[in-house]
Amino acid sequence: MHDIAPRPSPRLSALDRWLLPAFLLANALCVAALITALGVRAPLYSAIPWIFGAAFGVLLIPSMKGRVVAGSWPWRLGPPLLYAVVISLASSVNPSPTVGTPGNMFHPVEYAGLAFLAQLAWHKGATSRPRWRGIALVCLLCVAFGVLDELHQSLVPHRTSSALDVGLDAIGTLAGTATFLGVAALGRRLTHGARTRPP
């Protein structure tokens, strides 16, 4: 019998190698800082930075990085699904902040991150040329998830849902998509420059 060689991980550009791990690490640090600054007491919220930190640690493994960024669908869906689960978990409890802060101010930030990760997964990294049909579909899926999360939030004690929150989710989705398009344009320029640079 012949041994079946493992499928090699996709080759990534320098930007694609570090963009996703940097994103997850930044999220872990920012969420930890916000929880401390706002005095949030819910234990579930305190676990969120550790979730992002663990995902960052997984992506430091070279073989995992290639699969998650540019591998098959099940691998690429990992980061946006993880992010969506974190949003749903955050909607499942009352954060009880000790500092008076409107809760919906975080919606655009949350959905900007979700849209960025989803666009990254759909387009297999930040150096491929985005397709407008895929961009629009990802935006619609993110907003649809926002609607479902608002319905879920309406069932949680001491939490409410509103059309304003869905609008803020849509604004965040557009902001995250615009960020992805800007990063993708920069990534293609850097990749093209590296290929055309004389040895």
Residue 100 banded pLDDT, cuts 50, 70, 90: low
Q: What rounded mean pLDDT belongs to the chain?
A: 84
Least confident of 11-25, 64-78, 91-105: 91-105
pLDDT at 101: 57
* DSSP 8-state secondary structure symbol assigned to residue 103: G
| Environment class of 185 (CB within 10 Å of its CB; exposed 0-12, middle 13-18, buried 19+) | middle
pLDDT, tens digit, for every residue of 112-160?
999 999 999 999 888 878 889 999 999 999 999 999 999 998 888 878 8
CA distance 65 to 53: 15
Helical spans, DSSP H, in the chain: 14-38, 43-59, 62-70, 73-76, 78-90, 107-122, 132-153, 163-196
Average of per-residue pLDDT across 19-26: 92
Average of per-residue pLDDT across 166-193: 88
Phi and psi (nearest 5°) for 4? -90, 115
Average of per-residue pLDDT across 73-94: 90
CB-CB contact of 57 with 50 (8 Å): no
How many residues in total does the chain contain?
199
pLDDT exceeds 80 at position 182: yes
Structure tokens belonging to residue 37: 């600054």
pLDDT at 9: 54
pLDDT exceeds 90 at position 171: yes
Average of per-residue pLDDT across 109-113: 93
Residue 14 banded pLDDT, cuts 50, 70, 90: confident
Chain mean position to CA 78: 10
- Whole-model pTM? 0.85
Per-residue exposure over 143-179, b if at least 16 CB sit within 10 Å of its own CB, e if not: bebbeebbeebeeeeebebeeebbebbbebbbbbbee
CA distance 188 to 48: 33
pLDDT exceeds 50 at position 3: no
pLDDT at 5: 47
pLDDT exceeds 70 at position 161: yes
